[in-house]
Structure 1
Amino acid sequence: MDPPASSPYRRSRRDWVVDTVLFLLAVAYGVVTSATRLDASSLPVPKWLFNLDQLSGVLGCAALWLRRRHPVGLAVALAAVSAFSELVAGATVVALFTVAVHRRPRTTAAVSVLSVLATVAYVVVRPEPDTSALLLFTLGIAIYGAAVGWGLFIHNRRRLVLSLRDRAVRAETEARLRAEQAQHHAREAIAREMHDVLGHRLSLLSVHAGALEFRPDAPAEDIARAAKVIRESAHQALQDLREVIGVLRAPVGELPQPTLADIRQLAAESVRAGMRVDLREETGGTVPDGVGRTAYRIVQEALTNARKHAPGAEVSVRVTGEPGRGLTVEVRNTNPTPPPAGTPAIAPAPDPVPDSGPASTANAWSGQGLVGLAERVALASGRLEHGPTAAGGWSLSAWLPWPA
């Protein structure tokens, strides 16, 4: 689109070439037409009208240098003059072409209608004695229509190029945003994996270290056994952390992922830490990797929270399901009770700094752990329910889809 008339405008080298060619074409049409009329034995119009026609043609061709600043006004003026002037027809065609290129199709249609009316007026005012009026009208409409059609083609082509450029810029921006979003999601996934992997190991360290702190007079064998567990857990935690950090630049799908079969190892580690865990698995078939991984994380978070906030409680884990009916994971813990007499001195101790409030079963699993579990289950298109039980314990139940 051309700039408004009030703004400064500078023609490029290409604009100068195009404007000069169009100006010369309009002048050539006027000169050839005028010479043809002068060579005729007698003019079909009075002398004064022919002189006015020549003056109009000269002024119309000169006004073409303003076509980029005032395309619509120039086209309307030349169309009105073309109602009686024959030599201004070349300049009128150029003006119509300019309007079609630089203005909206609605404006082009209005100016085209005005040029058609001017053509009708010319045929009536200046009829040709040897030529049919219908032929003159058809010829004028054909020339104007060709100019407008060519201009509209260039107009639509320019709009298409601009839209393609905008679309390319928009696509590049969207691609950059998608890359940033994917990187953000990858970082969130890595952070979630680090929380799940290290939270379980560090809770084991906290249990045994807390027991050593509260029972410094324990037998040497129990202290040695606890120290061994602490060393092994710390070593495994470092191994897990090294694996996670090693894939920070790798796709999220390459992170070390557990399966449903690893739940038995989770339960065994918790039992070695002094917890009472009852695990039962009743699955009819091979659980998909994604569903099994989500179930593993649910059990891992539940055991970690129970160990930290409900020491001494008995935890029951139930994993049941079959293809087509889904996989159900239920984790329940009883109300915490003091360890019975005769148990080893190294018993689980409460976390000195609970996550939220006093270490009681009622608020045992409050905080960010349940939020993370809810997000995991929602991403797997499952359901998660949790809350205190009537006996004073805590219950967590999740259902995950298992396709047939």
Structure 2
Amino acid sequence: MDEPGAPRRQRWQEVLVLAVVVAEAITQLVVVTSPYEPWRAALTLVLGTALLLRHRHWRWLLPVLLVLNAAVMALSVLIIVVYSFATRSHHRLLTLLVAALAVAAGAVPSLLWVGAGPYMGITGLVVSTLIVAASAATGMYTSTRRALLAQLQKRAEQAESGRAAAEEQARRAERTRIAREMHDIVAHKISLVALQAGALEVNPNLERSQVQQSAGLIRQTATTALSELREVLGVLRGDGEEAPLAPQPTWEDVRRLVATSQDAGISVDLFDFIDDPVPDQLARTAYRVVQEGLTNIHKHALHTKARVALIGEPGIELVIEVSNVLPKGFTTDLPGARMGLSGIETRVTHAGGTITSGPTDDGRFEVRAVIPWPTAT
């Protein structure tokens, strides 16, 4: 597997390498300065052909080609080998050692063998050093640039992947939040409608005034639920920027919840020990807790006695208790969203409070929320 930023094999580069090597071999044949030129040209072609294997075996092939090139002093082979090694090696010390080997392979023969090439003595050493230094520097620059581009591309891909994951997580969180809002708004009132309709169904001998009263309560409850649902759907459609996501209940609405359940035939007592004004944000949280508790009573504990207790004062905390006697053998056909308690738990926790729910030692099922009540400033 190729390393990030490693050179990729391209056909035009291979053709260019062969063309340059063949051109130098032809030059060696045309400019004949010794009887060894044909032999040098043939070996130059062999070394040039071997360069085509540099992508797979560069670690050992390129140094070997440098040593063999000392016999022919092919300038094109020298430059290509040094440049190719520098672009592939990530170890600068190893690149410098190969560059030193290239200088030796290119200069030493000119110092020992007179007539071995176009450069002689010290001049050949200086020229070989300059050529090797330029090739190695260019190769190291290319390698660094390729590695930097590969790293930037990888970071961009990771950022894109992270952004996509964050967007998906945000969408899921938004869907969950909307579902909880829908549950809080609709479930309570629809359960009241079902309860009131069920009372009419099982009591066919009710007086006309009682039927009218129950029907009016059903109509009022359904209308309110429809209005609140329309507000939420309007926000989802974008029908007005200032439309609230959900109704904004006040502390009086908390008390009204209990009264509405009492009108629907639920035996629920309210113990309200709150005398101080309750902040709207705290009132909304309390409203949702009481609403969810009463909704569950409507669904699962219809014929039991329930109570709602509200205790607290500013600067300390607000305690909300919604409980009912555990029913025996009662079942309901009303569907449950299975997310109401989870939703109010999130709300209470976000407000800095705690919430517990479950059976108690005295045979009741209780939802108890304790929320900090900040002092008004």
Fold shared by both chains (TM-score > 0.5): yes
Structure 1 residue 400 displacement after superposition: 3.6
The answer to whether the 8 Å contact 2:254/2:290 transfers is yes
Q: SS where residue 247 of structure 1 aligns?
A: helix
1:328 aligns with 2:319: yes
CA distance in 2: counterparts of 1:390 and 1:19, whole angstroms: 89
User: For residues 114-164 of structure 1, what are the alpha-carbon distances to aligned partners after superposition, in whole Å with 9 as ceiling and x for unaligned?
Assistant: 44245346655543899986x865664443232122112212322333333
CA separation in 1, counterparts of 2:129 and 2:278?
A: 79
Match 1:70 to one of 49, 54, 61: 54
1:400–1:249 distance in 2 versus 1, CA, 3 Å: farther
Instruction: Please tell me whether the aligned partners of residues 25 and 44 of structure 2 are also in contact (alpha carbons under 8 angstroms).
Output: no
Which sections of structure 2, spanning at least 5 residues, go unmatched?
A: 4-8
**Residue 156 (1) aligns with residue 144 (2):** yes
Distance 1:184 1:229, change over 3 A: same
Structure 1 SS opposite 2:274: strand
CA distance in 2, matches of 1:177, 1:141: 53
Contact 2:185-2:246 at 8 Å conserved across structures: no
2:193 is matched with: 205
Report if the CA contact (8 A) 1:355-1:367 is conserved: no
Q: Does 1:387 align with 2:358?
A: yes
Q: Say which SS state the counterpart of residue 213 (structure 1) adopts.
A: helix
Tell me how far apart the structure 1 counterparts of residues 2 and 49 of structure 2 sit (CA, whole Å): 14
Is 1:295 matched with 2:286? yes
Structure 2 partner of 1:11: 11
Q: 1:383: how far off? A: 2.1
Instruction: Give the equivalent residue in structure 2 for 1:236.
Output: 224
Over 3 Å counting, the alpha-carbon distance change for 1:27 and 1:400 in structure 2 is farther
- Give SS of 1:69's match: helix
Q: Does 1:127 align with 2:91?
A: no
One-letter amino acid matched to 2:258? A
Q: Is the 8 A contact 2:352 2:371 kept in 1?
A: yes
Q: What CA RMSD, in Å, does the superposition of the two structures yield over aligned residues?
A: 4.3
Q: Distance in 2 between matches of 1:154 and 1:25?
A: 25
Equivalent of 2:245 in 251, 255, 270:
255
Q: 1:317 is matched with which residue?
A: 309
Which residue of 2 is the match for residue 99 of structure 1? 85
- Asked if 2 retains the 8 angstrom alpha-carbon contact of 1:321 and 1:328, the reply is no
**Distance in 2 between residues matched to 1:160 and 1:206, nearest whole Å:** 66
Aligned-partner Cα distance in 2 for 1:182–1:220: 53
Aligned letter for 2:90? P
Q: How many residues align?
A: 354
What's the CA shift for 1:313?
1.4
TM-score (norm 1): 0.70
SS state at 1:248 partner:
helix
% same residue: 28
Is the contact between residue 283 and residue 322 of structure 1 (CA under 8 Å) also seen in structure 2?
A: no
C-alpha distance 335-84 of structure 1, shift in aligned 2 (>3 A): closer
Structure 2 partner of 1:353 = 333
Alignment-derived partner of residue 181 in structure 2: 193
- Are 1:56 and 2:40 counterparts? yes
Q: Cα distance, 1:351 vs. partner?
A: 7.0
Distance in 2 of aligned mates of 1:96 and 1:270: 88
Q: Which amino acid aligns with 1:318?
A: L
Contact 2:99 2:136 in 1 (8 A): no
What's the counterpart of residue 266 of structure 1? 257
